[in-house]
Amino acid sequence: MDQTVEKPQVQFSEGAMAEIRRYLSHYPADRQKSAILPILHIAQAEFGGWVSPEVMDLVAEILNIQPIEVYEVATFYTMFNLKPVGKHVLEVCRTGPCMLRGSDQLIEHLENRLGCKVGETSADGNFTLKTVECLASCGTGPMLQVREQFYENLDPASADQMLEDLKALTVRKPWEENY
């Protein structure tokens, strides 16, 4: 009796594959592995904001490399989420200058407002709260980033407004129409 366990198949959408092909076209055939970072970004956007082992296997297949090579990159860079995240990932700077300007209080406020701790996702699935190292906005702390958008000089009121604005935001993928 064959005891082979079939993995669930994940596939990129046509829009995501077109974007992947565009990146691959920038590299000679024997150097396409160099597109691993942008393809992982596409994968993360395509599959709900995180990169599962199955998705990493798919990236390896596309790049014709060993899965471990994709795992090494995805686990090295903190910009890749290796577990499910909320619709919006709040990355709060936790280094010295922001801490001196109130990032600890901002984190505490966000934890209370969202009902989750750092590293967790809110019950409604809208927000994941993370801390990160310096985002190079030392003069405007406390600050955080959401999808490369900086929110600076945050206090409880401006943080609450930011959360409301983000809840109302429709998140699109870069290859979708009206991005």
pLDDT of 20 higher than 70: yes
Q: Could you tell me the sign of the dihedral formed by the alpha carbons of 33, 26, 59, 124, in that order?
A: positive
Q: Measure Cα distances from 99 to 102, 126, 143, 148 in Å.
A: 5, 25, 10, 20
Alpha helices of 25-152 — where are they, by DSSP H? 36-46, 53-63, 67-76, 96-100, 103-114
pLDDT bracket for residue 169 (50, 70, 90):
confident
Does the annotation list 134 as a binding residue?
Answer: yes
pLDDT value at residue 179? 44
First CA to last CA distance, the chain: 50
Please check whether residue 124 is in contact with residue 132, taking contact to mean a CB–CB distance below 8 angstroms: no
Is residue 95 within 8 Å of residue 68, measured between CB atoms? no
50 alpha-carbon distance from chain centroid: 6
- Its pTM stands at 0.79
Question: Where do the domains of the chain lie, and which CATH numbers do they carry?
Answer: 14-76 (1.10.10), 88-167 (3.40.30.10)
- What is the predicted pLDDT for the residue at 175? 64
Length of the chain: 179
